[in-house]
Amino acid sequence: MSGQAEQKLSLVSIITFSVGTLPVSALGVALFVYLPPYLAGHLGVALTAISLAWASVRLIDLFVDPVLGLTMDRTRTPFGRYRVWLSAGVPVLMLAVYMLFMAPSGIGVTYLLIWLFVLYLGNSILALAQSAWSATLATQYHERSRVFGILTAVGVVAAVVTLLIPIFASSFGLNSDQGVQAMGWFVIAIAPVSVGLAVWRTPERINQNLRPHFVLRDYLDIVIKPEVIRLFFCQMALTLGPGWMSAMYLFYFKDVRGFSTEQATILLLVYILSGVVGAPLTARAAMRFGKHQTLIATTSAFSFGLFGVFVVPVGNVLAAAPVMLWCGFMAAGFGLMINAMMADVGDEIRLHQGKERISLLYAVLTFASKIAAALAIGVTYRLLSRIGFNAVEGALNTAAALAGLQWVFLSGPIVFVMLGGVCVVGWKLDAKRHAGVRAQLDARDAALDEAPILSSVTATTPHVALAPETLH
């Protein structure tokens, strides 16, 4: 059996593993699109206070991911490496979601600072462990595109279900604010079930390190590696662009484009639902044309497509739906391409350093995401305050404030998403170069004692090394 065939994972195995991403994916929509307006409109928290809290927490939280990455790469327990971290992250996330989405009236900056930090800590643990585990589960160039494509599609399903909650909230006698709270309860409910299933049913391989001792130069080599630098800024740009849009989405679509909350949610649902098709098709395109070429194509198509918002008639859902469908389809490939490309970089670094660094490398990506997310909330809400936009429910805004909102809303996503594509122009770590890296890694690993593979926890002998076929 060839190396490529040996790494082929069944669709059921990938989906079972992918359900572990459900709470993080569901939370992403509620956290960025619905929670800030809920805090401002329902609880009366000032826009400047929300901006300060989000930006401050992101700055404080920046150094959490590198520490988590270093610690994860060094973790070895009878229960596994990433299993331990995924299990630990669930209660942290659940508690923070409850404290924020069910927050009482009268909360201030201090309350937001504390519980946003706890929430982002839990979110980082789950997201980082899931990504790093994905990279070790699938080791071949094209197989990684497939795995990350399915991961993204499953995450989209979680986001879609979350968006359905405010749409059907009124059918259950809930107002819009209670619909946001219901989103929080949904995340709390699915977190232990989905992560538990992934941990229970997915085998885990722990790669051996040739040089277990600490070498400072190794970390410097990672920091200055061109591919890591490119993906760092690419991740920043492709987080900041859509995040910028998400932060002002409800304000823009309601106050400028004349949609109701329910109609805006339906359009957002179209945007996200298109990712169910966009993610796997993007992964297929990457398997044919290469990851970086596919990323350049999707970022360009997204940016040009977003100009369509200008010509959509006010309040016309049917006219706006194709624009949201197009942009959502293209955006679905951003994260999966970056993650798959970083996994390839991780192989090259492990070949040269003789050590597993994949958790640290994904910490670099989440580090970039957090900087961008802090800017998305911090900068956009400050800009809204400067142009005189009033976010309180029922407030009347001037024509100048609404015009400023439109330009602020559209300029960020178009500029930053295009920059994200520029970051990978001339990318060298393609399928051919990665195949050479994997051949050397496989030969070296074969010369060592077999790397321990922890079976699913239902196995009767979890400490016994399993054959590669166990991963099928």
What tens digit of pLDDT does each residue of 281-313 get?
999 999 999 999 999 999 999 999 998 887 888
Q: How confident is the model at residue 215, as a pLDDT?
A: 62
How does 259-277 read in b/e, with b if 16+ C-beta sit within 10 Å?
bebebbbbbbbbbbbbbbe
Q: How confident is the model at residue 464, as a pLDDT?
A: 30
**For residue 430, what is the enclosing H or E element?**
none
Q: How confident is the model at residue 394, as a pLDDT?
A: 72
Q: How confident is the model at residue 459, as a pLDDT?
A: 42
Computed over every residue of the chain, the mean pLDDT equals 86
Q: How confident is the model at residue 105, as a pLDDT?
A: 84
Rounded distance between C-alpha atoms, residue 141 and residue 432, angstroms: 9
Beta carbons of 334 and 441 less than 8 angstroms apart:
no
The tokens describing 367, both together, are 């580090």
Radius of gyration of the chain (CA): 22
What's this model's pTM, rounded to 2 decimal places?
A: 0.80
Q: How confident is the model at residue 304, as a pLDDT?
A: 93
One-letter amino acid identity for 301?
A
The tokens describing 368, both together, are 């970039």
Q: How confident is the model at residue 214, as a pLDDT?
A: 54
| Domain over 3-204+214-471 is classified CATH 1.20.1250.20 | yes
Q: How confident is the model at residue 210, as a pLDDT?
A: 63
CA distances from 21 to 64, 291, 438 (A): 20, 22, 27
Q: Where are the alpha helices (DSSP H) in 354-459?
A: 358-386, 399-422, 431-447
What tens digit of pLDDT does each residue of 10-22 get?
899 999 999 999 9
CA distances from 421 to 194, 337, 415 (A): 33, 11, 10
Distant-in-sequence, close-in-space partners of 101: CB < 8 Å, separation ≥ 6:
30, 35, 180, 181, 183, 184, 185
| DSSP tag of 452 | P
Q: Report domain extents, the chain.
A: 3-204+214-471
Q: How confident is the model at residue 250, as a pLDDT?
A: 86
The tens-digit pLDDT sequence of the chain (472 residues) is 334 444 578 899 999 999 999 999 999 878 877 898 888 878 888 888 888 888 788 778 778 888 998 899 888 888 889 999 999 999 999 999 999 999 988 888 899 999 999 999 999 999 999 999 998 888 888 889 999 999 999 998 898 888 888 878 878 888 888 899 999 999 999 999 999 999 999 988 776 666 655 566 777 888 899 999 999 999 999 999 998 888 888 888 988 888 988 888 889 889 988 988 999 999 999 999 999 999 999 999 999 999 888 788 888 999 999 999 999 999 999 999 999 999 999 999 999 988 888 998 999 998 898 788 778 877 888 888 888 888 776 778 888 888 888 888 888 899 999 999 999 999 999 999 999 999 999 888 777 755 555 656 544 333 332 233 332 2
